[in-house]
Structure 1
Amino acid sequence: MPFSDILSTPYICKVVEEETPKFRNRVFTPIVTLQTFISQVLSQDHSCRDAVARVLADRIAQDKKPCSGDTSPYCRARMRLPEKLIMRLLRETGRNLHNQSEEGWKWKGRSVKLVDGTTISMPDTPENQDAFPQVPSQKEGLGFPIVRLVAIISLSCGSVLDYAFGPYQGKETGEHALLRQIVDSLVTGDILLGDRYYCSYFLIAMLQQKGVDVVFQLHARRKPDFRRGIRLGPRDHLVYWSKPARPEWMDETTYNTMPDTLAIREIKAGGKVISSTLLDPKKVTKKELADLYVKRWLIEVDLRSIKDTLQMDVLRCKTPEMIRKEIGVHLLAYNLIRTVIAQSASLFGILPREISFKGTVQTLEAFRDKIFLMAKKKLPGLYRVLLKAVAEYRVGNRPGRSEPRAVKRRPKAYPRLTVPRRQAV
């Protein structure tokens, strides 16, 4: 029920009918399979056995015929679940939530989107190694397959709008190449916020052609000189970048469509040099630009929530096809939780970014059985209590927080495994 506003039963049935081939009316229909898959990634256990046990308990509570506790039917149903169905639900839920963001959640009335990349590990199977090879510096059989993922996330509500992923290394597997695959998620009037890695001439030029402004930290290879250019204020000037030589990934036709120069505004604040296409200092002051860049850190927090709280850091599936589905369902579940956060924020007049993601997950888990067993007429009142509880879990205001990347608790003193486990037995 907490997700019914954005994933209503008629809506899911419509999407399933359009994306799924004909199926028999068995226990694990596409809708039940998707529901169970989402329940699985939201649970702390994360195992198929726990997911099937939940289905069994739910069927008994609804006076339906109990299903088997065997996980094989569920695993086969997950394999039949179309990847396109998961991708479509993920993108549409993220986009709908972003488009419904209240005006007070936006930045100066504009839509800001965050971009960043991360890596994810998975089981060491031959199929996964072929699709997502391990780091070349590791000995064969000792490392784990790694996937690189780039996501575009809404600043206002935190929903994942789109994502792309590929092998950790190889041709056209970098974050720039992956971003180009999903650049159509950006529309005219958007502002894209990212770290210095994205501060590239051709990426900025492509985004400007789409009517998208950018705010990036200046790339380390570019050395700012505030004595040059058009002075807009202290440590604030307008410069023109010249078009570099054609990169290998770009064809000649596309290269010829790129502008010969780019007008870029550079400011220095907080020890960082920030580059942007928001050129007018009267519309966007230096301080506003610097404060906006500080919000870039929110995508780091979002990715940490997905990888740590939802446990996507280490995937479980053993084939590339299921790995792709597992990533999609994790991100779909994340968007559904962000929906509950947005509903709570709207109801109690706060910003979605002020509400704890982990606190929301804990609250949903605590309320799950109560919602399922409560009489239908009492559900609205219970749901309001749930949203109020979610709103009370606030994120602390910790500007400029800096802590050492270290842990105090020591790991167990087990010897390191230096050969594949099957050889060490």
Structure 2
Amino acid sequence: MLISRLEQLGLGVLTRSCPPELVDRVVGEAGRSEKRRRLLSARFTVYFVLAMCLFSQADYLEVFRLVKTGDKGLRSCSGVNKSSLTRARQRLGWPVMRELFRSVARPLGTDDELFHGLRVLALDGTLLAVPDSAGNNDAFGKSGSQRSPMGYPQARVVAVAECSSHALLDAAIGGFKDSERIVSDALDAHVATGTLLLADRGLWVLARWHRLRDQGTHLLWRIERRKARRVQDVLPDGSYLARIEANKHSKAAGTVKAPSALVRVIEYRVDGQADVVRLITSLTNHEQYPAEELAVLYARRWEIGLVFDEIKTHQRGRPVLRSQTPDGVRREIYAHLIVHHAARDLLDEAARLHRSTAERTSFTRALYVVRRSVISPSGFFPPRPESGTGASDSPRSAGVCCPAEDLATARA
């Protein structure tokens, strides 16, 4: 039943998520608008880059052939080759895709999925293999030693995801040698008042704790056992308040020493494991936020691992990204994040219409619907509204389907 909803929502999924007006605005703000009329416009190039992520097994010209069926102005065009497509993508640049992702990324979960009124987010990182070119090797680096590098260069992606909907909300890209702690410093979107951020001990930094708390977000963080030893008070549910201090060597690195923080510590063991899991949280009210509930909630941090799997295994479809340059790699990664959010948005809306949950339908099948919507000749590139006709900036006026509205009308 839910798949039939996906089929109804599928038309123009990418243009529904990234309407032409939004693409044109982002391109203009990035200074990438055309000074003269081009066959391969910046708008078309954006959609072409997104389509390359959907059809990762196809070469450039095959992807162009699939996509141009949705653009009347390109169906009979000639003279487009691999070099012209490459130049179009180079003109676009990777910051356009980053800003487009930041413009479309938003939480998709409902109020019913909040934890005591807090939206639960997870912070973590993953590695993506990129082609073994000289530029990629210099920019991203490989595993192994300098004398004996191993495998492909790898880009490190650190992201924030909404646990309930698997929607990625922000992401930063670094190299293999870059620490996840440093890369994650660039992540601020949607981490604010009304959110609860889950993170692993590898991302712990006291200065980041203070910065996130200043933004209004609450934190549930796993840390090493040697930290937070200065017990202030033991609470009735077995948790306790403790003072956590900055690393005494922080000044040696030339950084300003962060002040101490009062945290609530929760310790527990997982069945079958000897190690004690130690969590710290800013939620100090043990009556409103019982320790047992927080321990169970922390397991949802692994939801972001499922998000990475959806992108790397199901969406990407190939073990190595295709871009041969560092700029191309960054552009391709942000394009993959946009496509993933569009597919998740589709699943979320279909689930709401069917009064179900997106978790009951596979992400792979949603991708099939998105791919079919791209090669459909009925609207991957909706027409640009004529100026002076009184057309509004809404997706519907631009020719983008509004599936929820259309389905509601049909059901009525």
**Counterpart code for 1:230:** D
What's 2:388 paired with? none
Question: Are the equivalent residues in 2 in contact too, given 1:205–1:262 (CA < 8 A)?
Answer: no
Give the Å deviation of 1:140: 4.9
Give the Å deviation of 1:286: 2.0
What's 1:268 paired with? 268
Is residue 180 from structure 1 mapped to residue 191 from structure 2 by the alignment? no
Question: Are the equivalent residues in 2 in contact too, given 1:156–1:352 (CA < 8 A)?
Answer: no
Determine the C-alpha separation between the residues in 1 that align with 2:74 and 2:245: 71
Change over 3 Å in CA distance of 1:249–1:384 after alignment to 2 = farther
Q: Deviation per CA, 1:259-292, whole angstroms, max 9, x where unpaired? A: 3342233232535332212111111112221221
What's 1:329 paired with? 335
**Counterpart code for 2:19:** S
What's 1:147 paired with? 155
Give the Å deviation of 1:302: 0.2
Q: Secondary structure at the match of 1:166?
A: strand
What's 1:66 paired with? 77
Give the Å deviation of 1:77: 0.4
Give the Å deviation of 1:248: 5.7
What's 2:322 paired with? 316
Determine the C-alpha separation between the residues in 2 that align with 1:384 and 1:364: 18
What's 2:54 paired with? 42
Determine the C-alpha separation between the residues in 1 that align with 2:378 and 2:234: 63
Is residue 128 from structure 1 mapped to residue 139 from structure 2 by the alignment? no
What's 2:282 paired with? 277
Determine the C-alpha separation between the residues in 2 that align with 1:134 and 1:378: 44
Q: For 1:245, which of 239, 244, 248 is the aligned residue?
A: 248
**Counterpart code for 2:349:** Q
Give the Å deviation of 1:123: 1.1
Question: Are the equivalent residues in 2 in contact too, given 1:114–1:193 (CA < 8 A)?
Answer: yes
Change over 3 Å in CA distance of 1:249–1:120 after alignment to 2 = farther
In structure 1, stretches of 5+ residues that fail to align are 389-425
Is residue 294 from structure 1 mapped to residue 329 from structure 2 by the alignment? no
What's 1:6 paired with? 17
Determine the C-alpha separation between the residues in 1 that align with 2:400 and 2:234: 65
Give the Å deviation of 1:42: 0.8
Note the 1:86-125 alignment, pairs <5 A.
86-95=97-106, 98=107, 101-125=109-133
Q: Name the Cα RMSD after superposition.
A: 3.3
How many residues end up aligned between the 2 structures?
A: 374
Determine the C-alpha separation between the residues in 2 that align with 1:12 and 1:367: 18
Is residue 32 from structure 1 mapped to residue 9 from structure 2 by the alignment? no
What's 2:345 paired with? 339
Is residue 196 from structure 1 mapped to residue 201 from structure 2 by the alignment? yes
**Percent of residue pairs bearing the same amino acid type:** 22
| Stretch of structure 1 that moved more, 311-320 or 276-285 | 311-320
Q: Deviation per CA, 1:320-352, whole angstroms, max 9, x where unpaired? A: 111111111111111111221221122222334
Is residue 364 from structure 1 mapped to residue 366 from structure 2 by the alignment? no
What's 1:84 paired with? 95
Q: For 1:51, which of 63, 84, 109 is the aligned residue?
A: 63
What's 1:403 paired with? none
**Counterpart code for 2:33:** P
**Counterpart code for 2:18:** L
Q: Secondary structure at the match of 2:13?
A: coil
Question: Are the equivalent residues in 1 in contact too, given 2:221–2:281 (CA < 8 A)?
Answer: yes
Q: Deviation per CA, 1:45-94, whole angstroms, max 9, x where unpaired? A: 242132122145445x7784233462221111011113222111101111
Determine the C-alpha separation between the residues in 2 that align with 1:270 and 1:383: 48
| Stretch of structure 1 that moved more, 35-44 or 133-142 | 133-142
Determine the C-alpha separation between the residues in 2 that align with 1:362 and 1:123: 26
What's 2:239 paired with? 236
What's 2:170 paired with? 162
Determine the C-alpha separation between the residues in 1 that align with 2:100 and 2:252: 31
Give the Å deviation of 1:238: 2.2
Question: Are the equivalent residues in 2 in contact too, given 1:37–1:51 (CA < 8 A)?
Answer: no
Note the 1:379-398 alignment, pairs <5 A.
none
Give the Å deviation of 1:145: 1.4
Q: Secondary structure at the match of 2:365?
A: helix
Determine the C-alpha separation between the residues in 2 that align with 1:378 and 1:323: 31
Give the Å deviation of 1:318: 0.9
Determine the C-alpha separation between the residues in 1 that align with 2:176 and 2:78: 40
**Counterpart code for 1:284:** Y
Change over 3 Å in CA distance of 1:313–1:246 after alignment to 2 = farther
What's 2:7 paired with? none
**Counterpart code for 2:120:** V
Q: Secondary structure at the match of 2:17?
A: coil
Q: Deviation per CA, 1:151-207, whole angstroms, max 9, x where unpaired? A: 1112243222221122211xxx20111111224652233211112222443332332
Change over 3 Å in CA distance of 1:380–1:190 after alignment to 2 = closer
Change over 3 Å in CA distance of 1:141–1:222 after alignment to 2 = closer
Is residue 210 from structure 1 mapped to residue 215 from structure 2 by the alignment? yes
Change over 3 Å in CA distance of 1:366–1:10 after alignment to 2 = closer
**Counterpart code for 1:168:** F
Determine the C-alpha separation between the residues in 2 that align with 1:6 and 1:354: 22
Q: Which has the higher contact order (CA 8 A, sep 6+)?
A: 2
What's 1:414 paired with? none
Change over 3 Å in CA distance of 1:361–1:383 after alignment to 2 = farther
Change over 3 Å in CA distance of 1:247–1:67 after alignment to 2 = farther
